[in-house]
Structure 1
């Protein structure tokens, strides 16, 4: 899990707010000092106290706590004291209704065709039996054990349903425990967040996770650390783009040309399972709006992924479709408090002609490399034929001068025609593993020629991040 320190106090005040117990996923307005320039804003530490963990939210109180920085750890794993996570191993912490990742609606015909697959579709009737994707994977280390958490989006076959966000847990990052329905307690797994119910909100049609950040502090008990979920919310507002095949959100059964406005949102949780939405500055509750007419991000904002760079310095990477240049592009925004953001512009656009990412880059996931200090971005490249593969880019400071590692993708669709991911791969999530054998893990969404999808894992060739192979089993 990521653990980041809270910074010193701000000029703005966060008042204590009571969450109404009648709202299934509460929205909370947290005021910040909008008049303060970015350079003067600091990051506050939020503590969330649940009076009844068995409900979506009982009476909750959001408080302000000004602290000095304590520890900055890497983005994907930490040996920080447990931030209010269950002390049991994941397989024991979940309820009796939890099921293994191998329990799916159907099985692959052979291990070769399912190579790399670590999370299949859920069983028939479950919240994620139709489609899954957008994996956000975090690793947590303690003296006694290793725990993994994966937030991902899923959809059911219920025609009245929509995309939801769920949680699966694991002891090794390969074999996952998942839930068939909604979570019932702070030790449960399954569906953890549904679309917004307010008619005016930006997230009424679909939601997908972008990143989960954990805030902690030396002056606040580790058990009071709070999860911050940055996610994409889709509204019913439809857009039109002539002469280009585009979907937003991208779904297996959706029609090309169905483009919904999407914006970035924020929710917070004490246990990673029960979430309260935080009202952003946009009138819809989103953190910020699309760009002005003619800007590269004037259509929608998708896949917000946030990196803690340093004291009071958070960076959000996101993608949009540059209508003028006809390519998917990735941009960056910056914040002191994680709520009020200032856009810095586009940092990555289309690749060279004939390359796997000729029509652009989307779904960025950025990690600071602990070995050399550079920032590594895994992204989904869009080819001229609409195909998808995963590429890498690097930057010394994570802000500018992003360059592609090479013109070839580091992970392509499987070569076997009937494979679960033989059509395309995307939605990457990087996890750097350090230990006896240093390596990287790349979690991704795969789609097969038959319309099948799942979440897979590839591992690097040691510390060489340019070479990945699909996971085939543990080495003995």
Structure 2
């Protein structure tokens, strides 16, 4: 891994061990032709929900996977891991029995109307009782067990308009254990990250996970890995968009599906809030500390100028590790000039300082499922042929969403759609996801069949949301079907 990033993490750990404050300044210099050489400033901020003493122990006991031995060290070269099938020798984590809630207790196939649903809304008054989505799923394997982690956003009727990030765990990626409140330990599940309480921050009203990357380095003694969470943060700053009434669908940022009846107002209004990409780090996937980027609000970077395609907002940052010192971030925005959602790419050497490379995908052909644009991308590198595959959310002329597929050889350009057809769309009229599917997350399963799993957000009647699962037939990503109780 780039020395700048490694030294930044090391400085954060050393500083927190010796100082009562949580602000640091670490100069980093980048030396690649497509990046500026201007020094970068980092500021590490402990989350409000985590006591400072607890946060010290978090960063001084980093491990390559959640709940591993605190003395785990390695002599391997500094690396960045982006592998959903990473190996670990730790024991599976056990959630707090008072907080853990199983999403399912049976191996029997689900009813037809619930086909594919693997995580429903939380119990009444829980943090995720009104709306859930944006799943980020990782699979960890060892010689004697497998563990699945899902980070997702949620909100409740008690906190309308405020999104939070939570964690659920599973032994098979099908039946999930969740928590109805904040986590209390490194073996707990539930709410793991709140919106910022700093008035000037970019993420005071909404946070939604985009990707979790594991950053490893032997330069930090006894702390050889931390989780890097790239996320979307929204403030209360409204974006001026004069053409919104001309659209066939209701443009919202962040997207709202649940209807809040507070004072006669509809929580699904057409307000467009400015969103930007953020970064937080953790050693256990549960307790997170924000890293302040170059932008004055703490975000990693800003929107484009008035004439740029991404001038309104930056949303859904998803980061892929291509090689040493080469990270790619895929994100979406709304192209005002063309009146469509689009997907762009940025590049970085250290995962903190980013340079935009431009828009790589826009709307599809007239009448297609993605005519009005593409958003919420998830990119993975196929382990069989090295090509890049992208699943994304397509928006049609009526605002209905489906999931599409595109392929690229190098992951930078020449993204080719799959026959201009969706690979996952709504089905049954009364199904739980009959109004739209989107926010896809890909997991490639090693084995004889080289199966793919696609986790996604589904929208049903009344704006009710849930998280679903579709699987491929072998390695063919175009053959996705909703989970119906197949053999695990």
Measured against the shorter chain, the TM-score band is: 0.7 to 0.9
1:302 matched to 2:298? The reply is no
Residue correspondence of structure 1 range 373-384 to structure 2 within 5 A? 373-384=386-397
Residue correspondence of structure 1 range 51-70 to structure 2 within 5 A? 55=51, 58-60=54-56, 69=77
1-side partners of 2:387 and 2:474: how far apart? 17
Contact 1:368 1:374 in 2 (8 A): yes
1:164 matched to 2:164? The reply is yes
2-side partners of 1:324 and 1:209: how far apart? 28
Residue correspondence of structure 1 range 73-84 to structure 2 within 5 A? 75-79=83-87, 81=88
Q: Secondary structure at the match of 1:60?
A: helix
1-side partners of 2:469 and 2:411: how far apart? 25
Question: 1:94-116, CA deviations, whole angstroms, 9 ceiling, x for partnerless residues?
Answer: 4432110139xxxxxx7111100
Larger mean Cα displacement after TM superposition, 418-427 or 250-259 = 250-259
2-side partners of 1:357 and 1:20: how far apart? 53
2-side partners of 1:291 and 1:19: how far apart? 38
Distance 1:99 1:279, change over 3 A: same
Query: Aligned residue for 1:465?
Result: 477
Residue correspondence of structure 1 range 264-303 to structure 2 within 5 A? 264-303=277-316
1-side partners of 2:387 and 2:343: how far apart? 18
Query: Aligned residue for 1:101?
Result: 103
Task: State which of 365, 368, 377 in structure 2 corresponds to 1:364.
Answer: 377
Contact 1:38 1:336 in 2 (8 A): no
Query: Aligned residue for 2:363?
Result: 350
Query: Runs of 4+ in structure 1 displaced over 6 angstroms?
Result: 10-14, 19-23
Task: State which of 247, 250, 256 in structure 1 corresponds to 2:255.
Answer: 250
2-side partners of 1:19 and 1:203: how far apart? 27
1:433 matched to 2:435? The reply is no
Query: Aligned residue for 1:128?
Result: 128
Query: Aligned residue for 2:431?
Result: 419
Contact 1:75 1:307 in 2 (8 A): no
Contact 1:359 1:383 in 2 (8 A): yes
Contact 1:30 1:279 in 2 (8 A): no
Q: Secondary structure at the match of 1:58?
A: helix
2-side partners of 1:224 and 1:301: how far apart? 31
User: Where do 5+ consecutive residues of structure 2 fail to align?
Assistant: 61-72, 260-266
Query: Aligned residue for 1:451?
Result: 463
Give the superposition deviation at 1:55.
4.6
Query: Aligned residue for 2:233?
Result: 233
TM-score between both structures, scaled by the size of structure 2: 0.85
Contact 1:102 1:120 in 2 (8 A): no
Larger mean Cα displacement after TM superposition, 249-258 or 300-309 = 249-258
Q: Secondary structure at the match of 1:129?
A: coil
TM-score between both structures, scaled by the size of structure 1: 0.87
2-side partners of 1:304 and 1:291: how far apart? 15
1-side partners of 2:487 and 2:6: how far apart? 53
1:88 matched to 2:91? The reply is yes
Task: State which of 264, 273, 283 in structure 2 corresponds to 1:260.
Answer: 273
Give the superposition deviation at 1:467.
1.1
Give the superposition deviation at 1:227.
0.2
Contact 2:391 2:405 in 1 (8 A): yes
User: Where do 5+ consecutive residues of structure 1 fail to align?
Assistant: 1-5, 104-109
2-side partners of 1:393 and 1:266: how far apart? 27
Question: 1:276-311, CA deviations, whole angstroms, 9 ceiling, x for partnerless residues?
Answer: 000000000000000011100000000000001100
2-side partners of 1:219 and 1:288: how far apart? 27
